[in-house]
Amino acid sequence: MGLVPEIDYGTPHPRGLKGDTDAKMVTLTIDGETVTVAEGTSIMRAAMDSGVTIPKLCATDMLDAFGSCRLCLVEIQGRAGTPASCTTPVAPGMVVSTQTDRLKRLRKGVMELYISDHPLDCLTCAANGDCELQDMAGAVGLREVRYGMEGANHLGQAKDTSNPYFTFDPSKCIVCSRCVRACQEVQGTFALTIQDRGFESKVSAGMDEDFMDSECVSCGACVQACPTATLMEKSVIEIGQPEHSVVTTCAYCGVGCSFKAEMRGTELVRMVPYKDGAANRGHSCVKGRFAWGYATHRERILKPMIRAKITDPWREVSWEEAISHTASEFKRIQEKYGRMSVGGITSSRCTNEETYLVQKLVRAGFNNNNVDTCARVCHSPTGYGLGTAYGTSAGTQDFDSVEDTDVVMVVGANPTDGHPVFGSRLKKRLRQGAKLIVVDPRRIDLVKTPHVEAAYHLPLLPGTNVAVMTAIAHVIVTEGLVNEAFVRERCDWDEFQDWAAFVAEERHSPEAVEVYTGVPAADLRAAARLYATGGNAAIYYGLGVTEHSQGSTTVMAIANLAMVTGNLGRRGVGVNPLRGQNNVQGSCDMGSFPHELPGYRHVGDEATRAIFEDMWGVTLEKEPGLRIPNMLDAAVDGSFKGLYVQGEDIVQSDPDTHHVTHGLESMECVVVQDLFLNETANYAHVFLPGSTFLEKDGTFTNAERRINRVRRVMPPRNGYADWEITQLLSNALGYPMNYGHPSEIMAEIAATTPGFRNVTYQLLEEKGSVQWPCNDQAPDGTPIMHIGGFARGKGKLVLTEYIPTDERTGPRFPLLLTTGRILSQYNVGAQTRRTANSEWHKEDRLEMHPHDAENRGVRDGDWVKLQSRAGETTLRALITDRVSPGVVYTTFHHPMTQANVITTDYSDWATNCPEYKVTAVQISPSNGPSDWQEKYKSHSDLSRRIISVDAAE
Ligand code: SF4
């Protein structure tokens, strides 16, 4: 199995100041031992650090000290009473006793009261063996309970089982408030409260609602914090307490949270956020924490399948037949149509090692550069824009950096839905007083959420990002807010002067752009001043920046703002792309683009090619290959005939669905390697079953450039990890690969890629994770980029001329559609739709402003036809003022909606990233699904017919 030994959480402790090297030190005595700790440390923490354990219930290392359970009492010489050690700070010369007879008596009495109002069902309780109340009762020596509380207890309270993933049993609640505090302090949702007072007090979701009806976002923080079986995972109740665990990395979004996969035998019982995970610091969201059931979903395909025509039923075959058939098809196609007639698409869901192997297969096995990745359709402008400005195609900070931020500007991102764990960390910083600017057409949750309110929301019209960013620059320059010292040191001064003259032109002023951006000039001016003068300022942005015809220009406009205000090269500042998929950063790093070898080095560069030619033993093509849209164009033209797609669903995720399907239909061999028969598989001739992140070893690289280990939790149900399948295919094609473990692939990556030079699995075991660059100059990795200088030397300030998209509104299509994600679903929904997460989001809805809805006679919940110049679809309307008049919004998680049917084929000028965020549309009432959707559904059903090996024989 290759399971790694369980790694413990580390010693729990309430927070103190330990680790703050500037703090004054304090020496005291605890139980006769001299202890020296930082000033401000709690007595409980000091005691734990010196090896003394004080009983506790309401304290946990994830939460601020609370002092309510009355178990952690201590005696302090010269002081009256028995203060709580979790809330009492140390003082010089203090003499503390933690284990006197009096304290033991008091603790035992307190515990007796807890237990008297608690079911005495320890032996049958699902938490038996993992219950802090049980442990503490033992620790204080409680053997029997003298009090009966008949008629005045909480034992008869009804259990809430409404949440699909956990239960709430108030009869077991000791009202320690850990769940309430976790919801507030860690998650920042404030869904839980303590209702009533004294003995009547109880934990309540919302206004005494079921969990499912409340504001709860099912992040699991409350379940994790609960010291009893009050809040408990249903999977633990069903399967039993876990016996061992493996630390691994979430395979959903680019936050890259670390989890302990807790197992009972070979069965996964639960995923618990790992407290030592540097990206998530012990927190999680509903996807990583609970939505892993797709791994064993009945629709998962576990046997390879082939078919001659895409209208034929699938035929299950052996792995040997599938691989040799695929290899012979690719060979036949290359012999008939030429070397360039085939290509591959790597996956941002797969590991670095798997992605590296697919691009190696294409370059060395197919002998061309026809490889591309789904980053093409999301963050390719980030690579281009930040590479141009700073010399590195990645974000500048680590997530911890937000703790030192004074001003946060969120542009075209919705962190609480798209990157929830970072969203929670951000909200925490905002609750501590940091200021927030939101630049987004839609009123995302961050604009106003409990205890957080944006200082400015700039609700720009979709497609006007460049104008708004340049107008912010205009204010900074014309109001004298430039950090001249930083610019003189870090940028080319002449270039800066050209840039400053450009942005200072009156046509870039907030007043001039207000008319077409929709952003009030006064708000824009105030936001610009805040960004430039409010202290450490950080920009976080998402696909609302990149998926535009000027996506790369906006990234460079953002990069300009950070440079001219000096907000780079230290904690609390920077430019931070919030990467969508778990390994989108890694798939770009690994050379997935047709013009770049691993490490972002151009295929035309002879010296770089020589490194790989030596390593791979082949002569490499020096011309860039085809991008995904070019592959599809070439397929329609008849020159591109074979495609190997690993872990992507381009029919659902790429623009202009009709064009994508037409391209796929024109090919002779489409190979899809995935977990499920996805929409692209409808056009495939070979299906190779893929493996989940639970079934393989490797690494993911998150949005902070953090390389995190993925560890095998269980054997691959399909027989092979994805990297092994690529290797089998390569060998069958005649290009030998002989890796025994992904660590060997990483060794090859390190040997060929300067930013990964020192990365080894051993280093990752020792450090947990590292952020690239990790080489001789930065042996421990690089949390903050561009300290003291940019990777490219002088930072480059690019003139960012606003060029309106060709996609215009008019009488036929008067509204602008923009798209985004929702918390519970993920991308095209292949995984999350196969979990109980669908209970929160069963269908994509179209958000419309009440004014637009009324004009069209549309009511909330009505079916509407959504039409663009490219196509039409139908879905139901959600009437809300989250969107401005003239703007509509939908998600793209469900195949029957197919939002990309209506998006256009406009794309970013530099990278071809599709312009998903701006489509001119019209909306009209409808009776139900469109003809296209009905036809699509029947085609989809037809192509999914499978003849099993047994049935075929
Ligand atoms: Fe997974 Fe992202 Fe949620 Fe973390 S925030 S648990 S990485 S989906």
**pLDDT tens across 624-661, in order?**
999 999 999 999 999 999 999 999 999 888 877 888 99
> Can you spell out the DSSP letters for 125-152?
-TTTTS-HHHHHHHHTT--------TTS
Mean of pLDDT values over 762-789 = 95
User: Quick one: pLDDT at residue 127?
Assistant: 82
- CA–centroid distance, residue 112 to ligand 1 (Å): 40
- pLDDT of 679 over the 80 cut: yes
Contact in structure between 500 and 473 (CB atoms under 8 Å): no
Atom of ligand 1 nearest to the CA of 285: 3
CA of 718 to the centre of ligand 1 (A): 25
Kindly provide the b/e burial profile for residues 781-811, where b requires at least 16 CB atoms within 10 angstroms of the residue's own CB: bbbbbbeeebbeebbbbbebebeebebebee
Tokens of residue 800, six digits? 């960012």
715 vs 72: CA distance, rounded Å: 44
Mutate to test the pocket of ligand 1, among 223, 252, 427, 893 (most ligand atoms within 8 A of CB): 252
CB 159 within 8 A of CB 167: yes
The DSSP secondary-structure symbol of 621 reads: P
**Residue 168 CA, ligand 1 centroid: distance in Å:** 23
Cβ–ligand 1 contact at 255 (below 6 Å): yes
d(CA 509, CA 471) in angstroms, rounded, equals 5
- Residue 936 above 80 pLDDT? no
Reported CATH class of domain 337-378+584-754? alpha beta
Q: How far apart are alpha carbons 412 and 448 in whole angstroms?
A: 16
Residue labelled with tokens 């993920």: 826
Question: Can you tell me the distance from the alpha carbon of 394 to that of 235, in angstroms, rounded to the nearest whole number?
Answer: 38
Q: Is the CB of 578 under 6 A from ligand 1?
A: no
Residues 6+ apart with CB under 8 A from 5: none
What is the pLDDT at residue 471? 98
- Classified as helix, coil or strand, 34 is strand
Question: Quick check: CB of 677 below 6 Å from ligand 1?
Answer: no
C-beta of 285 in contact with ligand 1 (< 6 A): yes
Q: Which CATH superfamily is domain 391-577 in?
A: Dimethylsulfoxide Reductase, domain 2 (3.40.228.10)
* CB-ligand 1 contact for 280 (6 Å cutoff): yes
- pLDDT for position 952: 31
d(CA 437, CA 418): 18
Distance 109 CA to ligand 1 centre (A): 42
How many angstroms separate the CA atoms of 928 and 935, rounded?
13
Between 346 and 935, residue with greater pLDDT: 346
**Cα 422 to ligand 1 centroid, rounded to whole Å:** 9
Query: Residue 1: its pLDDT value, please?
Result: 33
Residue identifier of the C-alpha nearest atom 3 of ligand 1: 285
Q: How far is the CA of 118 from the centre of ligand 1 (A)?
A: 35
Query: In the chain, pLDDT over 70 holds for what percent of residues?
Result: 95
Nearest CA to ligand 1 atom 1: 288
pLDDT tens digits for range 289-347:
999 999 999 999 999 999 999 999 999 999 999 999 999 999 999 999 999 999 999 99
**Nearest atom within ligand 1 for CA of residue 422:** 5
User: Does any ligand 1 atom lie closer than 6 A to the CB of residue 253?
Assistant: yes
For residue 277, report the distance from its CA to the centre of ligand 1, in Å: 12
Residues 6+ apart with CB under 8 A from 778: none
Which residue is it, tokens 């509509």? 888
Would you place residue 22 in the very low, low, confident or very high pLDDT band (cuts 50, 70, 90)?
A: low
Best residue among 217, 219, 224, 257 to mutate for probing ligand 1, ranked by most atoms within 8 Å of CB: 257
pLDDT-based confidence at 267, cuts 50/70/90?
Answer: very high
Q: pTM (2 decimals)?
A: 0.92
In this model, does residue 865 exceed pLDDT 50? yes
Q: Is the CB of 420 under 6 A from ligand 1?
A: yes
Which regions of the chain carry the CATH code 3.10.20.740? 1-99
Across the range 43-51, mean pLDDT stands at: 92
Are 369 and 593 in contact, with CB atoms under 8 Å apart? no
Expressed in angstroms and rounded, the spacing between residue 395 Cα and the centre of ligand 1 is 18
For residues 165-190, give the mean pLDDT: 94
Q: Where in the chain is the domain with CATH 3.40.228.10?
A: 391-577
pLDDT at 14: 35
Is the pLDDT score of 512 beyond 90?
Answer: yes
pLDDT for residue 260 is more than 80: yes
Over 80: is that where the pLDDT of 6 sits? no
**Which of 71-80, 260-269, 684-693, 900-909 bottoms out in mean pLDDT, i.e. has the lowest?**
900-909
Q: What is the pLDDT of residue 747?
A: 97
Q: Tell me if 256 CB under 6 Å of ligand 1.
A: yes
Helix (H, G, I), strand (E, B) or coil at 478: helix
Q: What is the pLDDT of residue 148?
A: 65
827 lines ligand 1 (CB under 6 A): no
CATH 3.40.50.740: which residues of the chain?
337-378+584-754
Averaged pLDDT of the chain: 91
The mean-pLDDT minimum among 184-188, 414-418, 477-481, 580-584 falls in 580-584
Determine phi and psi for 941, rounding to 5 degrees. -65, -45
Q: Which atom of ligand 1 is nearest to the CA of 259?
A: 6
Cα–ligand 1 centroid distance for 242 (angstroms): 22
Confidence of residue 66 (pLDDT cuts 50, 70, 90): confident
Longest CA–CA span in the chain (Å) reads 93
What value does the mean pLDDT take over residues 860-887? 93
**Ligand 1 contact via 421 beta carbon (within 6 Å):** yes
Which stretch of 127-131, 285-289, 469-473, 746-750 has the lowest confidence by average pLDDT?
Answer: 127-131
Q: What is the pLDDT of residue 150?
A: 60
Determine which of 526-535, 839-848, 923-932 has the lowest per-residue pLDDT on average: 923-932
Q: Is the CB of 217 under 6 A from ligand 1?
A: no
Q: pLDDT value at position 937?
A: 63
Q: Work out the pLDDT band at 497, boundaries 50, 70, 90.
A: very high
Q: State in words which class domain 1-99 has.
A: alpha beta
More confident residue, 655 or 255: 255
Residue from 406, 403, 449 nearest 426 by CA: 403
- In this predicted structure, the answer to whether residue 207 has a pLDDT above a threshold of 70 is yes
Nearest-CA residue for atom 2 of ligand 1: 253
What is the CATH number that goes with domain 815-938? 2.40.40.20
Q: What span, in angstroms and rounded, lies between the C-alpha atoms of 871 and 408?
A: 38
How many beta carbons lie within 10 A of that of residue 770, not counting itself? 26
Ligand 1: residue whose CA is nearest its atom 4: 257
Q: pLDDT by residue (tens digit) across 88-99? A: 999 999 999 999
Confirm or reject: Cβ of 288 under 6 Å from ligand 1: yes
Q: What is the pLDDT of residue 654?
A: 82
pLDDT band at 108; cut points 50, 70, 90? confident
- pLDDT for the residue numbered 126: 83
Separation CA 308–CA 528 (nearest Å): 60
As a whole number, mean pLDDT of residues 714-742 equals 96
If one compares 895 and 436, the residue with the highest pLDDT of the two is 436
Question: Among 165, 272, 285, which residue has the most ligand 1 atoms within 8 Å of its CB, making it the best to mutate?
Answer: 285
